[in-house]
């Protein structure tokens, strides 16, 4: 029987660097022959959570669905890396009880920095009132109180952030 996998859950504002880090963490794990799967919020929204809006209830449903998939994969020894804004603390806290090897990674990037990285133009639209319920502007983001790892992409390079995650996983005996 395979040992249960782990879930690295990257949470933070849009533009914080979650997707970039998630992809690089997956590459690093694959180089170490660690079985893993990457789940990105944008891809999840167009497939698994199509039809959900951005109300608190819909966002929590999205988080719960992704968490359920992670739990299934972890049960079969497949580790997951998730890049998902997941703005509400209570929904992330619930995952800690449902996923045995849940690792909360806070991509702690200031809103001002995220706005300057706005490659999709979403902050510009949100600030102009064209997007309702946009996290960090017209909808809250509740930062984790006790994340397992905090990454500051405005101060650390992608490589430094990835190494920080790998070092944590090594120290915890996960890889």
Q: What positions carry a catalytic annotation? A: 86
Q: Is 17 annotated as a binding residue?
A: yes
DSSP state at residue 30: H
Q: Is 51 annotated as a binding residue?
A: no
Beta bridge partners of 11: 106
Residue 94: is it exposed, middle or buried by C-beta count within 10 angstroms (0-12/13-18/19+)? middle
| Measured distance CA(163)–CA(170) in Å, rounded | 10
Which stretches does DSSP call E strand in 2-125? Answer: 7-11, 36-40, 79-83, 102-107
| Measured distance CA(57)–CA(110) in Å, rounded | 25
Q: Is 138 annotated as a binding residue?
A: no
* 157 within 8 A of 148, measured Cβ to Cβ: no
Look at phi and psi of residue 71 and say left if phi exceeds 0, alpha if psi is from -120 to 50, else beta. alpha
**CA distance readout (Å), 123 to 11, 15, 89, 152:** 18, 9, 22, 20
Q: Is 3 annotated as a binding residue?
A: no
Q: Which residues are annotated as a binding site for ATP?
A: 12-19
Q: Which residues are annotated as a binding site?
A: 12-19
């Amino acid at each position: 029987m395979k040992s249960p996998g782990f879930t690295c859950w990257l949470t933070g504002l849009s533009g914080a660097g979650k997707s970039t880090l998630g992809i690089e963490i997956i590459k690093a794990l694959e180089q170490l022959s660690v079985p893993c799967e990457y789940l990105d919020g944008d891809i999840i929204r167009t497939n698994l959570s199509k039809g959900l809006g951005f109300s608190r209830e819909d966002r929590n449903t999205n988080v719960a669905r992704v968490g359920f998939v992670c739990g299934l994969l972890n049960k079969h020894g497949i580790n997951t890396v998730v890049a998902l804004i997941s703005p509400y603390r209570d929904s992330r806290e619930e995952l800690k009880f449902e996923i045995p090897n849940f690792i909360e990674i806070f991509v702690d990037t200031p809103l001002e920095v995220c706005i300057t990285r706005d490659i999709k133009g979403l902050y510009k639209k949100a600030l102009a009132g064209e997007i309702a319920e946009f996290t960090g502007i017209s909808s809250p983001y509740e930062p984790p109180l006790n994340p397992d790892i905090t990454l500051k992409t405005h101060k650390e390079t992608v490589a430094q952030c990835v190494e920080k995650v790998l070092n944590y996983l090594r120290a915890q005996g996960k890889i």
